[in-house]
Amino acid sequence: MAGLWVAATLIAATAQTARNAAQSGLTARIGTLGATQVRFVFGLPFAVLFLWLATLLTGEGVPPLTPTSLGFTALGAVAQIAATALMLITMKSRSFAVTTAWIKTEPVLVALIAAAVIGDPLSLPVLAAIVIATAGVVILSTKPEVTEAMLSDLGPAATGLLAGLMFGLAAIGFRGGILALPEGGFLIRASTVLVLSLVIQSGLLLLWLALFDRKALTASFGVWRTSLLAGFLGAFASQFWFIGFSLTTAANVRTLALVEVLMALGVSAWVFGQPVTGRQKVGMAVVVLGVGLLLGAQA
């Protein structure tokens, strides 16, 4: 199973990088909340399809929900909505790669909170690897000199870091929801919680937009081709994130997911034409070192 959670996480990180790129372009066209709801509303039909395929593949039925599973999943669902909105706000003022880097400061907090709340194991070698990988992200996303320009970055930095915190709470909530299901293998558990989370998220966002921002809701369906692509990529990435959460700790998954920073730098340079600095390259090397130590500790 060790190799399976690694493969699932890498697939999820790749799909999420593509989803973020598609979704970021929607923000200017339909607003932050309009772009936020796309990944959930347009992703839900694909998640239902994935669950149906999981029942066919495993021969298992959908496991019954428990109050604990529902509570953890609801926590993850709401935290992920907030995290996605904050991520898109940050993308308006900073580069795609740096926004991703700020968000990826989450693994240390995930490790500590998950150990306390849902009992995920946490050894000193694993914690050291997480800290090193996170330090690489900090190096990658900050400037060496303290100047007025640095002060102007505090607003985007705050929203980016808060997005990372919310993504961390989402990871803990989803893993808690998966573990609280009373029966089923890892695939059917992951798929069930994914559908449940998207039902909650879609319902909340559709209600909010229908009441307070019908223009954004209508606009998201007006660009349905891009919205459908973002929804599919979001559901596809989430399916593999949830598989990872069903197989190992949230901290392991979110730390290995730091490779997404490297992918985001490539997208920044090749798609958006944003330069990669020498400092960012050093940060990338430290991230790779931390991830390597994590995999070594797990082995």
**pLDDT per residue over 126-135, tens digit each?**
999 999 988 8
Average pLDDT of the chain? 84
Q: Which two tokens stand for residue 205?
A: 């966002």
**Exposure of 141 by Cβ count < 10 A (0-12 exposed, 13-18 middle, 19+ buried)?**
buried
The per-residue pLDDT for range 180-203, each reduced to its tens digit, is 999 999 999 999 999 999 999 999
Cα–Cα distance between 175 and 192 in angstroms, integer? Answer: 12
Residue 90 has pLDDT above 60, yes or no: yes
Q: How confident is the model over 88-107, as a mean pLDDT? A: 69
pLDDT of residue 150: 36
Asked whether 231 and 39 are in contact (CB, 8 A), the reply is yes
The per-residue pLDDT for range 244-285, each reduced to its tens digit, is 999 999 999 988 888 877 777 776 777 667 777 777 778 888
Instruction: Give phi and psi for 92, each to the nearest 5.
Output: -70, -30
Cα–Cα distance between 91 and 109 in angstroms, integer? Answer: 23
The per-residue pLDDT for range 46-76, each reduced to its tens digit, is 999 999 999 999 999 999 999 999 999 999 9
Residue 294 has pLDDT above 60, yes or no: yes
Buried b (16+ CB within 10 A) or exposed e, 232-246: bbbbbbbbbbbbbbb
pLDDT class for 212, splitting at 50, 70, 90?
A: confident
Q: Where are the domains of the chain?
A: 2-121+146-249
